[in-house]
């Protein structure tokens, strides 16, 4: 960070909340491009994803975090820890909720306590973001605002539809109002601090989520084993393993005659080529690593 750089509105903003509230969709909307993977399934985001919005008079560093949920599984414990740790490192917190779901007092006690625990760790200003307002009658928003106001003294409440880009500009204005002046935290020409290698793994994992059903997505991880530029052929060669818990899951991901794995690879390759702006040769295979989500050494290899 260059302390001699011009002072602008600058700071870090954590996007937190329950699973599937639309945190990754909101981050991508702010950035105007896809950095964080999005699927209809909860708990898609496993790591903290950094997205950087650069403009002449401000820089906002957004942290997209895993959804808050209760679990004893090592992977899920790490996911929630990532989200909670983010609350102490930022200038503003966006607490994002899906307005189509129950009011806090009608939620399961476990879910209510997760919200209270999360908000209890917020030391700075927080904005309540009511997402998916295009899915409900706006008359229902007032009791929801009153219910969440009883949990925390939010600095502002902003209804949005991240998917339809409704209210997002107003939300950004509220964020900028709360951010301090200071130097930029990152160079002006990067939208994320994540490596291309990491983002490619996330894209592959997104396609597994979208193209397989039931429990399969939650039983899988993606390990990028090789990422090399082949200058002679003018492309990037990526070797990646889709890791599953059991032999039966391996068969499902591969599919009859390898068709499912081929579909995952084709869809992932198209998005990876858009991301890195080069042709890609993507080689996928499936490996069984029993109870990988409880293997802390393997989780560290994945970056958790």
Q: Mean pLDDT over residues 273-300, rounded?
A: 90
Query: Distance between CA 226 and CA 181 in Å, rounded?
Result: 41
More confident residue, 41 or 299: 299
Q: What is the predicted pLDDT for the residue at 50?
A: 84
- Residue 78: pLDDT band (50, 70, 90) is low
SS3 17: coil
Q: What is the predicted pLDDT for the residue at 123?
A: 83
More confident residue, 30 or 141: 30
Q: CB neighbours of 58 closer than 8 A, spacing ≥ 6?
A: 8, 9, 10, 176, 179
What domains can you pick out in the chain, each with its CATH number? 8-182 (3.40.50.300), 196-302 (3.30.300.20)
Lowest mean pLDDT among 9-18, 108-117, 280-289: 108-117
More confident residue, 253 or 121: 253
Q: Which two tokens stand for residue 115?
A: 């919200």
Alpha carbon 114 to chain centroid, angstroms: 19
Query: Distance between CA 262 and CA 284 in Å, rounded?
Result: 8
Contact (Cβ atoms closer than 8 angstroms) between residue 236 and residue 281: yes
Q: What is the predicted pLDDT for the residue at 81?
A: 61
Q: Mean pLDDT over residues 83-106, rounded?
A: 77
Q: Mean pLDDT over residues 69-92, rounded?
A: 62
Q: Are strands 92-98 and 126-131 parallel, antiparallel or unpaired?
A: parallel
Query: Distance between CA 126 and CA 154 in Å, rounded?
Result: 5
Contact (Cβ atoms closer than 8 angstroms) between residue 129 and residue 14: no
Q: Which two tokens stand for residue 10?
A: 């600058």
The dihedrals phi and psi of 50, each to the nearest 5 degrees, come to: -100, 125
Q: What is the predicted pLDDT for the residue at 83?
A: 57
Q: What is the predicted pLDDT for the residue at 67?
A: 61
Q: Between the CA atoms of 79, 210, 278 and 187, what dihedral angle is there, to the nearest 10 degrees? A: -30
Contact (Cβ atoms closer than 8 angstroms) between residue 14 and residue 63: yes
Q: Mean pLDDT over residues 140-168, rounded?
A: 91
Q: What is the predicted pLDDT for the residue at 1?
A: 47
Q: What is the predicted pLDDT for the residue at 113?
A: 73
Nearest to 171 by CA among 78, 239, 41, 179: 179
SS3 158: strand
Tokens 């396609």 found at? 207
Please check the confidence at residue 24 and state whether its pLDDT lies above 60: yes
Query: Distance between CA 273 and CA 270 in Å, rounded?
Result: 5
**Average pLDDT over the chain, rounded to an integer:** 84
Contact (Cβ atoms closer than 8 angstroms) between residue 45 and residue 37: yes
Q: Mean pLDDT over residues 218-238, rounded?
A: 90
Please check the confidence at residue 121 and state whether its pLDDT lies above 70: yes
């Amino acid at each position: 960070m260059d302390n001699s750089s011009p002072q602008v509105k600058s700071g870090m903003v954590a996007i937190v909340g329950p699973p599937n509230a639309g945190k990754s969709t909101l981050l991508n909307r702010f950035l105007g491009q896809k950095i964080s993977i999005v699927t209809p399934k909860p708990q898609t985001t496993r790591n903290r994803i950094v997205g950087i919005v650069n403009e002449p008079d401000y820089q906002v560093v957004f942290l997209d975090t895993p959804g808050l949920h209760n679990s004893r599984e090592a992977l899920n414990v790490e996911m929630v820890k990532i989200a909670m740790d983010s609350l102490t490192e930022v200038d503003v917190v966006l607490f994002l909720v899906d307005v189509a779901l129950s009011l806090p007092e009608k939620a399961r006690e476990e879910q209510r306590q997760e919200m209270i625990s999360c908000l209890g760790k917020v030391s700075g200003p927080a904005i309540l973001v009511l997402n998916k307002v295009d899915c409900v009658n706006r008359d229902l928003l007032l009791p929801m605002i009153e219910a969440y106001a009883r949990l925390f003294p939010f600095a502002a409440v902003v209804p949005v539809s991240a998917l339809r880009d409704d209210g997002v500009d107003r939300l950004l204005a509220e964020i900028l109002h709360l951010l301090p002046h200071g130097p930029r935290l990152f160079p002006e020409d990067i939208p994320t601090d994540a490596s291309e290698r990491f983002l490619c793994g996330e894209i592959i994992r997104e396609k597994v989520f979208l193209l397989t059903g039931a429990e399969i997505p939650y039983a899988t991880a993606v390990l990028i084993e090789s990422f090399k530029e082949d200058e002679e052929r003018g492309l990037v060669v990526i070797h990646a393993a889709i890791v599953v818990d059991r032999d039966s899951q391996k068969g499902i991901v591969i599919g009859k005659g390898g068709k499912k794995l081929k579909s995952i690879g084709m869809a992932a390759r198209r998005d990876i080529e858009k991301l890195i702006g080069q042709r890609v040769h993507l080689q996928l295979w499936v490996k069984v690593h029993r109870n990988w989500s409880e293997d802390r050494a393997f989780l560290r290899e994945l970056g958790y």
